[in-house]
Structure 1
């Protein structure tokens, strides 16, 4: 996971990004070593060399720090997908790449470090704000690609756009959500191609 903070996660206190970055970087390392659930803010304070009160000037809780780490992880996945989508002008191919790259990037980032997976699992279980915002952006991306496909004549236009985007999102969700993805890992080699082909057939005008 990258350690560059963003404004999408809850933060507080002075606008000292270097200190926030330092806390997030140390927390990422600490969670990776000891696990999210077992780590307290006091543990982080000792590891960083700050007082617990000082950390609370920047983050209101351990979850707020976890959300910042989660945001960074999700932004990394999203960036990979958008880069892949931007490399083609064909809406059907864009949709195929959405399925393929979301699955590949989610697998790599959610499961390359089992202890950091705990953060992603907590975020999904408790429906953190970072997760809600991520899901909304995924659906917006789907709507953008669908709109392009309708304008190019590749996709049907009768079904309401938001309804179509939501349906596709629900097909994709088992490969986005870490809690669901852990039960679908044995299908990730074939599922993106098969599911995107099925969705594309349903979108034919």
Structure 2
């Protein structure tokens, strides 16, 4: 978890930033031990050593705390994916790297901490703003790769670019969305690569 990403939203100055970050770190540890659903703000406050009212100064609900944690995790996934595609220049290889890196990092994070997976389930089912923003970033990243491929003469240009980006995202979504990921484990080792190849064949001139 990075300090910069954790401090997003509701800025009230350096001291308040530090407290907000401390609450997030402590909440993540508490959720990891006891689970998101079973934890109340009162229990969280006692575990941190703050009053419930003081926590509400920084977060207006338990969901707001969960969303801040979720946003931080999603930013980590996106950053690793961007780093993976930055190492190659070919649009086709960038698309392959994106299809491989996003599911891999997603599974690793949620496998390392199953309680975080619980928060992700709530976020996805409730369509929390952090998840919508993340999905839009992935779609935009796909669109950028598609535009590069068209400019290089590697991909077909007849289909509207937004339609192609959305279709590619829908192909990838079962390995990103935690509600769907739990049903996609059996083929996880080969599916992202095979799906990337399928999308690339559909983009061929």
- Counterpart of 1:170 in structure 2 is 170
Q: Check whether the contact 2:85–2:94 (CA below 8 A) recurs between aligned residues.
A: yes
Distance 1:150 1:6 in 2: 33
How far is the alpha carbon of 1:6 from its aligned partner? Answer: 3.0
Distance 2:7 2:57 in 1: 18
How far is the alpha carbon of 1:3 from its aligned partner? Answer: 5.1
Distance 1:14 1:53 in 2: 16
User: How many residues were matched structurally?
Assistant: 203
Gaps of at least 5 residues in structure 2 are: none
Query: Moved runs in structure 1, 4+ residues, more than 4 A?
Result: none
Q: Check whether the contact 1:12–1:60 (CA below 8 A) recurs between aligned residues.
A: no
- The 3-state SS of whatever aligns with 2:3 is coil
Q: Check whether the contact 2:6–2:72 (CA below 8 A) recurs between aligned residues.
A: no
Q: Does 1:33 align with 2:29?
A: no
Q: Check whether the contact 2:103–2:192 (CA below 8 A) recurs between aligned residues.
A: yes
How far is the alpha carbon of 1:113 from its aligned partner? Answer: 1.2
How far is the alpha carbon of 1:116 from its aligned partner? Answer: 1.7
How far is the alpha carbon of 1:135 from its aligned partner? Answer: 0.3
How far is the alpha carbon of 1:8 from its aligned partner? Answer: 9.0
Structure 2 CA distance for partners of 1:8 and 1:131, relative to 1, 3 Å: farther
Distance 1:106 1:64 in 2: 21
- The 3-state SS of whatever aligns with 1:145 is helix
How far is the alpha carbon of 1:187 from its aligned partner? Answer: 0.8
- Counterpart of 2:62 in structure 1 is 62
- Counterpart of 1:14 in structure 2 is 12
Gaps of at least 5 residues in structure 1 are: none
How far is the alpha carbon of 1:53 from its aligned partner? Answer: 0.4
TM-score between both structures, scaled by the size of structure 1: 0.95
Structure 2 CA distance for partners of 1:72 and 1:128, relative to 1, 3 Å: same
CA RMSD of aligned residues (A): 1.4
Q: Which moved more, 1:30-39 or 1:111-120?
A: 111-120
